[in-house]
Amino acid sequence: MIPAITDTKLLKEFVADFVNNISVPAAWFEADSIHLNSQAETLTGYTNDEVTSLPDWFQRISGENWEEFCQDVFTKIKQYRSFTLNDIEVAHKDGSTRFIRISVYSVKAIHLFVINDITIEKEIISSSEIEVRNLSTALLEIKRLQKRLVRENKKLVKSNSELENFAYVASHDLKEPLRKIVAFGDRLQEKYGQSLDEKGAYYIERMSNSSRRMNALIDDLLKYSRVSRNNIVLEPIDMQSLLDEIKDRLENAIEQSNAQVVFGDCLPIVGSKSLVSSLFQNLIHNGIKFKKEGEDSKVHITSKRIKLKSRKYIQYEVTDNGIGIETEYHKKVFEIFEKLHSREKYAGTGIGLSICKRIMEKHNGKIIIKSEVGTGTTFVLQFPDIDKEKWKKK
């Protein structure tokens, strides 16, 4: 949700710009201040000039339980980078009641709220629980509420699209100044490197390394945005040939790690060849990279047909003998910019598995982790078994 910008001032500017431009209620806050956009002001009736902090805002809209609710939010912020607060009843300044859902995203000491008005959903649920005497009137009311819900869902889809576009444009625009930083750093090193003392050379090296890491982050963020933004064209994929190509591309990494990448007969699937290639290359490379100390990496790929709830799937399993992943992190590793290890130990941006998950979602498939620390990891990939006569654009 929020790019990994290390400069606090730039991060504030990014979040403030996002909150001011998104088409749904949103807010961001720090320890001693809160900033609402116009939609959030309209939703609760309180303006930025009337509220001074997050506790102050909660006290105004949450009634008697505001302290308990506020403490719960701050506790979760310490534990999680992102979470959702559901079915919150809030009071408008004019005395009316609304129900909202808040999606919270945190980076450093800056926290972003994206607020969805779910009053209509609550009305529908409430209406369905009440015994209605006049069935005809009840059906008309439900249809009216359903139409309103459809309109609200369209707004939500639009806001999500705006968010993806914003992330894409912001990342793209950051590339040019970053190129200049890298270029001038290289020139400085080339022309004046011999004149600098040890500390000066160290500073240049740190600047160059940080710029390249930032560049890698932006590249991966752009990849994630492209997967989310673009439609995919389905085509039959010869997985045997595709995996051979990926193995050739990873030849250097395989040789340097003395790794083994093994696969037998691979069932063909229908999907986007470029995305499926990126998916398997990422998982195979992870299997090579996250190896146990003193042990060569082994990656084994298998496939089979399965049936789940009357639906047919082609299931691939990518298994390695690496360090493994603790059960509590099986979902967390798919969050964007989530890294379980320091960059000094294992290089990477923390976006690779987020991209893998998004690719499987674009194929109406699933990705599941089976792993324990020290026993290796298996990624289970379930692709819908699509009739080759029914290829279509998604």
Is residue 140 situated within a structural domain? no
Average pLDDT over residues 176-196: 76
Task: Say whether both 289 and 386 belong to one domain.
Answer: yes
pLDDT at 378 over 60: yes
Examine the fold and report which residue of 180, 202, 229 is the final residue of a domain before the chain moves on: 229
Average pLDDT over residues 6-29: 79
pLDDT at 222 (0 to 100):
65
Single residue among 101, 117, 133 that ends a domain in this structure: 117
Q: Give the residue carrying structure tokens 């509220």.
A: 51
The answer to whether residue 149 is domain-embedded is no
What average pLDDT is seen over the chain? 78
Indicate whether 307 and 337 sit together in one domain.
Answer: yes
CATH number of the domain bearing residue 271: 3.30.565.10
Query: How far is Cα 353 from Cα 375, in angstroms, rounded to an integer?
Result: 19
**Are β-strands 298-308 and 260-263 bridged in parallel, bridged antiparallel, or unpaired?**
parallel
More confident residue, 73 or 238: 238
SS3 for 187?
helix
Same domain, 219 and 252: no
Domain co-membership, 279 together with 369: yes
Q: Residue 27: CA atoms inside 13 Å, Cβ hemisphere, count?
A: 25
> How far are the Cα atoms of 33, 88, 253 from residue 118, in angstroms, in the given order?
26, 9, 50
pLDDT at 51 over 50: yes
The CATH number that applies at residue 75 is: 3.30.450.20
Residues 308, 183: one domain? Answer: no
Residue with the bigger pLDDT between 44 and 154: it is 44
Q: CA-to-CA distance for 58 and 82, rounded, in angstroms?
A: 19
Mean pLDDT of 105-117: 80
Question: Average pLDDT of 354-370?
Answer: 89
User: Number of H helices and number of E strands within the chain?
Assistant: 11, 12
In tens, the pLDDT along 238-284 reads 999 999 999 998 888 888 888 999 998 899 999 988 889 889 988 99
pLDDT digits (tens, 9 = 90+) for 304-344: 999 988 889 999 999 999 888 888 778 777 776 555 554 54
pLDDT score for 46: 86
- Token readout for 247 is 């193995």
> Residue 144 falls within a domain, yes or no?
no
* Domain contains 307: yes
Pair 260, 208 in one domain: no
Helix (H) or strand (E) holding 263, with range, is strand 260-263
Same domain, 284 and 362: yes
Q: Kindly report, residue by residue over 79-102, the tens digit of the pLDDT.
A: 887 888 887 788 788 888 888 888
Determine the pLDDT at residue 319.
93
User: Tell me: the pLDDT tens digits for 149-160?
Assistant: 877 777 766 656
In a domain, 148, yes or no: no
Average pLDDT (211-215) is: 70
Q: Which tokens in the block code for residue 82? A: 């992102």
Query: Is residue 245 domain-shared with residue 368, that is, in the same domain?
Result: yes
- Give the number of other CB atoms < 10 A from CB of residue 188: 16
What percent of the chain has a predicted confidence (pLDDT) above 70? 76
Residues 44 and 16 grouped into a single domain: yes
**Residue 145 domain-assigned (yes or no):** no
Q: 179 and 326: one domain?
A: no
pLDDT band of 8, cuts 50, 70, 90: low
224 and 239 housed in the same domain: no
Over residues 216-240, the mean pLDDT reads 73
Residues 310 and 349 grouped into a single domain: yes
Are the CB atoms for 116 and 17 separated by under 8 Å? no
pLDDT at 344: 47
- Domain of residue 198: give its range: 169-229
Does 253 reside within a domain?
A: yes
Asked if residue 366 has pLDDT above 50, the reply is yes
Other residues' Cβ atoms within 10 Å of the Cβ of residue 95: 7
pLDDT of residue 310: 84
161 found inside a domain? no
What domain count does the chain have?
3
Which residue, 117, 143, 177, sits at the end of a domain?
117
